[in-house]
Amino acid sequence: MRKTILDLYSMASKGEKIAMLTCYDSSFARVLEQQGIDAILIGDSLGMVVQGHDSPVPVTLDDIVYHTQCVCRGSKNAFILSDMPFGSSQVSPQETFKNAVKLIQAGAQMVKIEGGMEMCDTVQFLVKRGIPVCAHIGLTPQSVNQVGGFKVQGRAEKEAQYILHSAKLLEEAGASLLLIEAVPYSLANQLCEHVSIPTIGIGASPQCSGQVLVIYDMLGLGAYIPPRFVKAFIKETGSIEEAVKLYVNEVKSSQFPALEHCYN
């Protein structure tokens, strides 16, 4: 039986870490499930690791719908979360709802939306109409052209306060999960204490309720210099299955991320 958001909340309340990876096809989805992954993210990262773009910006809603359907065919138990790609949520709440419906109908149990407090009205609109939302703060890759690249966010005090304030407002708007990407370790810890919903870290802190990585990154297949928060688990195992199992075990035991994978 497929995990639900209530299962993730139960895990977080018990202190059991949530192990999440991105995935884009049925074969990898089956492997991830067999090795104990709790949740799968169909991320717009597919633009870089599958389609060969320099950023996730070119990814379309139809792309995410297609890959969500593929993952759902190979997965029976993991919680399914799908990204809302660039241009699909930076519109009116009504249009965002129409776009989100397509992802839910494709098999997603939740959609992920990038952005801070400016997305609160949209989050509230979706949640009130039955679409669970994961808010994504810190480094938001869809804004790469605005922020000037893939850079750590929240080092300046004003920026850190904006992120903290946004997290609380997004929770109040109804977000069920908070994904925290590429922020200083100390800020990530503050965020974990600042909200009551489960937190998923990527370049954040081991204090988060769970962790996520891009599947190709943890397999050492990224065609770019990997960011600090990446660990190529396959180098310690030699097989995809064992690499995923090791990732799950290290997340569950709070061995990953280590301080070397976090930002100062």
Residue 1 carries which DSSP code?
-
Residue 261 carries which DSSP code?
G
Classify 150 as helix, strand or coil. coil
Find, among 66, 45, 61, the residue nearest to 100 by Cα: 61
Q: CB burial class (10 A; 0-12, 13-18, 19+) of residue 235?
A: exposed
CA atoms lying within 13 Å on the CB side of residue 203: 23
Q: Which amino acid, residue 263?
A: Y
Set 181, 193, 236, 250: catalytic member: 181
- Rounded CA-CA distance 224/56 in Å is 14
Annotation marks residue 95 as catalytic: no
C-beta atoms surrounding 61 within 10 Å: 22
Copy the structure tokens of residue 77: 């138990």
Q: How far is CA 213 from the centre of its chain?
A: 8
Copy the structure tokens of residue 45: 């990262």
Find, among 122, 162, 118, 158, the residue nearest to 138 by Cα: 162
Q: How far is CA 96 from the centre of its chain?
A: 19
Helix residue spans in the chain (DSSP H):
5-14, 26-34, 46-49, 61-74, 93-106, 120-128, 144-147, 157-173, 185-194, 215-218, 240-252
Report the DSSP beta bridge partners of residue 20: 39, 212
Residues catalogued as catalytic: 181
